[in-house]
Amino acid sequence: MVIAGPGSGKTKTLTVKLARILSEDVHEPRGVACITYNNECARELEQRLQALGIEAGERVFIGTVHSFSLKQIILPYAEVAGMGLPDDFQVASNGEQRGALERAYDRIIAEGDDPHARWRNQLDRYRRRYLDRDSPEFLETDGVLAELVLAYEEELRAAGLIDFDDMTLLSLRALKEHEWLREAIKAKYPVLIVDEYQDLGRALHQMVMGLCFTTGIRLFAVGDVDQSIYGFTGAAPGLLQRLSERDDVETVRLRLNYRCGSEIVRASQFALGEERGYEAPEDAAEGTVYFHPLQGRYEAQAAYVFDTLLPEALERHPNLQLGDVAILYPAAWLGNILAEAAAERGHATIRADNQAIYPRSSRLMRWLEQSAIWCCDGWRSGNPRFSRIVGEANRMFSDALQTDAARMEFQRALLRLLWERRDSTLSLHDWLGALRQEPLVEVFSRSRTLVDESEKLDDLISKTAPGEPHEEMSLGQFCGHGEGNNRINLTTLHSSKGREFRVVVMFGMDEGGIPRRRPSEREIMEARRLFYVGFTRAETEIHIVCTRDKASRFAVELATRLSEK
């Protein structure tokens, strides 16, 4: 177990370790499975490994716990493991999940409330917390929720569907019931690597306990309790803590922060409220922490950011690009205010929150970005290589491209379409529409797992259609190439995790925003970790923007501690 603080080089450590294991410890045809928190983490790992000459493929699985569960357990073993799924089961779209919940709600509660507004989040948390459907804990902690969970899952099965939580739940159940299945996984992957362990929840933890501490698969895990910020999705940082304290686990701590200036590293431990002994390298720049307690509404504060704060930062750092700047905030509605203020001043922005034009965490969307880069200039520079785009497609569409003939047909159609559209000024709507028509239409029609991704693509095509707000978006703007793409990053604190920027502005750092109003003790602890995660994204400057007399307790404490030096 590697406990890796912010900026400590944990991704480099993980990828070099994985490469060494493949080279020295695990021999063909066996391989290594690497489980990550989300698709963006998986993509970064794949890129780092490619730089070391290692391609994800038969010997190296890299993906989320849901992807691992689906592709390595459910698809190959569902029938023989008796999971009770039809041969042609599908992964439910958002609409199909909503319909299943509505039918289950009508059966169990039927009080006229909106089941999605009142019950969806509760149902999801309950499913992730109580994994054994036969346990007294599941049945008795909240009897109504337990009945609703069972009814919801019955509705999905009746329609031949599973959802994302089902992937881990069904896999975990099968692994517990069948020793031969655990041995089959061990035969293929004698080493399991887990990234961001603190965020992956109880189902993954139980898989690790069974596969690694019962079956004997070797474990290499990386995580940081202090960066656990996804409690609302079922993350339980205590699981990482307990794992690292086991007698049969060797725990290594990475204490140097190579990202942040030395003053930011020192201040970050005040932001966390805990001394962790993190240090910057001896040759690190100092870094600066600024506080901006402001009066007035958030619209006025946003104006200050763009009229005063950013111009002063650009003057201090003449080589600073707007793309090196990120403005972080606790809720997406603040992003709307910032985006409007930026647009009024002629600044382009790129958003990473639920108001973004498309979800950048989507693997399909990131693949489309890479394909667009190839069309803009990548075909000439070789970055990205077309073979890399094809390889990613083969992995993403693996259940639809199962034969060499199908893969070759897809590759030819993709190359023909992209080659004919090598122009960054093309309409994004037209480019996406052509790609959707061919070759993706056949892939989506044959896939059992891409309904949700298909809907995301259709939504983006709709948003860029004539008469819609993004109708003028070009292919170059979509992938970040060409003029006007030096864009300020707008992102929620949650979506900033794992990223780094030269200058960071933490906007809206007020009580009621972080932490939220009337927080529980657990919520206060997680909000503090969220504040810490945002703070440690900064390399050179960090700016805390808050409302005077309403500042977050974390900002007040940080300012007080720094003033005492």
Residue 135 assigned to a binding site:
no
Q: What is the DSSP letter of 212?
A: I
Name the residue among 127, 505, 85 with its Cα closest to residue 335. Answer: 505
Residue 262 assigned to a binding site:
no
The per-type count for the chain, helices as H runs and strands as E runs, is: 26, 14
Residue 9 assigned to a binding site:
yes
* Residue 312 CB partners (closer than 8 Å, separation 6+): none
Angstrom distances, CA of residue 251 to CA of 1, 6, 204, 213, 220: 5, 17, 19, 16, 10
Residue 11 assigned to a binding site:
yes
Residue 508 assigned to a binding site:
no
> 3-state SS string over 332-343?
HHHHHHHHHHHH
Phi, psi of 419 (to 5 degrees): -65, -35
Residue 42 assigned to a binding site:
no
What's the chain's Rg over C-alpha atoms? 24
For 521, counting Cβ atoms within 10 Å of its Cβ (0-12 exposed, 13-18 middle, 19+ buried), the class is exposed
Q: What is the DSSP letter of 222?
A: E
Angstrom distances, CA of residue 148 to CA of 85, 97, 98, 103, 435: 20, 13, 13, 10, 40
Angstrom distances, CA of residue 338 to CA of 321, 343, 550: 18, 9, 19
Residue 467 assigned to a binding site:
no
Phi-psi region of 126 (alpha: psi -120 to 50; beta: other; left: phi over 0): alpha
- In 38-146 the beta strands, taken as DSSP E runs, fall at 60-64, 90-91
Could you give the CA distance from residue 546 to residue 513 in angstroms, rounded to a whole number?
10
Residue 7 assigned to a binding site:
yes
Annotated binding residues, as ranges?
4-11
Annotated binding residues for ATP, as ranges?
4-11
